[in-house]
Amino acid sequence: MRVGIYGRSFNDSFIPNIQELFNTLALFEWDITIYQPYKSYLNPRIKIEHATDVYNKHIDIKGKIDVLICIGGDGTFLETINIVRDSGIPILGVNTGRLGFLASTYKEDIVDVLNSIREGKYRLQTRSLIQLITDDGLFGEDNFALNELTVHKKESSSMITIHTYIGDLYLNSYWADGLIIATPTGSTAYSLSCGGPIMVPGAKDYVITPIAPHNLNVRPVVVPDDRTIRLKIEGRGREYLCSLDSRSVTIDSSIELTIKRAEFQINVIQTENQNFLNTIRNKMMWGLDRRN
C-alpha cells in the first residue's frame, strides 16, 4: 500500500496518537510520502524510523499513491481537495480539530481504522463538488469546491442584491449580506449556520441559502445538481467577495458567476462503523435529553 500524508499543525496532546499512526504504517510496511511543508513540521515532533518520500503538488502523487491520510480538521480536509483533484485517490480524515464532519476518525481509533483499511473492511463514499465558470477564469485551475461557493458584500455598510437564475429561469433577487451555493457536503457548514437544511452525501442537489436576507420570508431553496445556477451581483459598493471553500477573490458587478456540478467527485474512506447519520447525531449532540 502506498500512502500519502497531508496535514497542518496540531496540539501537543495529539503527538502520541500521530506517533502511533506512523508506527502502525511502519509495522504494515506501507510506503509513505509526506507533504513537504508538513514533514518539516513533523520532524522535531514525531520519530519516523523508515524512509519516506515527499511531495508538493497534485502531479507529484497522481497515480502514485493508493490512499491520502489527512491529519487535521475539516479545513485541512478541504485543502486536500486541491491536492487530490480528479485523481480518484481516497481520503481518510484523522481529526485533530474540533467538529470533524469530514475528518471523522478520532485519535483513539487510528490503529483500528488502519487495520480495517489493510483488511479491506471499508467503503468509499463519493462526494460531489461544484465548479465556478467565469469569462475571466476566476481561481484558475482551482475553480471547484467541496463545500460551497459564497458571494458576500465586502463593505460592512450595506447589503447587496444577487440576481439568481436556475438555467434560464429567473429565481429571485436576494437582498442580503450574501448568498451560499452549497453541496450536500457543505450543507453542514456555512449554509447550516445560516439556516439551511442538512443533506445526506449522495443527494444530487444543491442548496441556495441567503446570508442575513432583508426579506424575512426568503428561505433556502434546494435545486437539482444537474441544473446550472447563474448569479449577477449589484450594490452600492463596487467590490464583492467570491469564495470557493476557504479561498476568496475580489470581484465587481461586471462578472457573472456560473455554477455547475464538477465533472469529478471525491472519494472519502469510511469504515464499517462510520456513517454520516452517526456523525451528525454525535457531532450535533442529537438525543442528549433525559427523555431519550
Q: Is 255 exposed, middle or buried (0-12, 13-18, 19+ CB in 10 A)?
A: middle
Whole-angstrom Cα distance, residue 159 to residue 157?
7
Confidence of residue 280 (pLDDT cuts 50, 70, 90): confident
CA distances from 243 to 128, 131, 240, 247 (A): 17, 12, 10, 5
CB 94 within 8 A of CB 69: yes
CA distances from 130 to 85, 207, 259 (A): 12, 12, 7
Domains in the chain: boundaries: 2-121+272-283, 129-264
Say which CATH class 129-264 falls into. mainly beta
Cβ-Cβ contacts under 8 Å for 194 (sequence gap 6 or more): 180, 209, 210, 211, 212, 220
Whole-angstrom Cα distance, residue 71 to residue 10?
8
Q: Which one, of 274, 151, 164, 273, lies nearest residue 229 by Cα?
A: 164
Question: For 29, which DSSP code?
Answer: T
274 pLDDT more than 90: no
- Exactly one of 74, 177, 205, 225 is catalytic; which is it? 74
Q: What is the mean pLDDT of residues 272-284?
A: 79
pLDDT tens digits, residue range 205-235? 999 999 999 988 999 999 999 999 999 999 8
Residue 74 annotated to the active site = yes
Superfamily of domain 2-121+272-283: Probable inorganic polyphosphate/atp-NAD kinase; domain 1 (3.40.50.10330)
Residue with cell 461557493: 149
Beta bridge partners of 97: none
Whole-angstrom Cα distance, residue 214 to residue 90?
42
- Please give the helix or strand (H or E) that residue 173 lies within, else none: strand 169-176
pLDDT, position 290: 65
Least confident of 80-84, 255-259, 264-268, 270-274: 270-274
**All cell numbers assigned to 35:** 507533504
Answer with the residue of higher pLDDT: 289 or 195: 195
pLDDT, position 292: 62
Beta bridge partners of 152: 178, 241
Q: What is the mean pLDDT of residues 168-191?
A: 96
- Please give the helix or strand (H or E) that residue 28 lies within, else none: helix 15-28
Whole-angstrom Cα distance, residue 237 to residue 43?
47
Q: What's 68-132 look like in SS3?
A: EEEEECHHHHHHHHHHHCCCCCCEEEEECCCCCCCCCECHHHHHHHHHHHHCCCEEEEEEEEEEE
**For 240, left (φ over 0), alpha (ψ -120 to 50), or beta?**
beta
CB 205 within 8 A of CB 223: yes
- Please give the helix or strand (H or E) that residue 38 lies within, else none: helix 36-42
Q: What is the mean pLDDT of residues 123-149?
A: 95
CB 244 within 8 A of CB 142: yes
φ/ψ of 10, rounded to 5, equals: -140, 160
Q: What is the C-alpha radius of gyration for the chain, rounded to an integer number of angstroms? A: 20
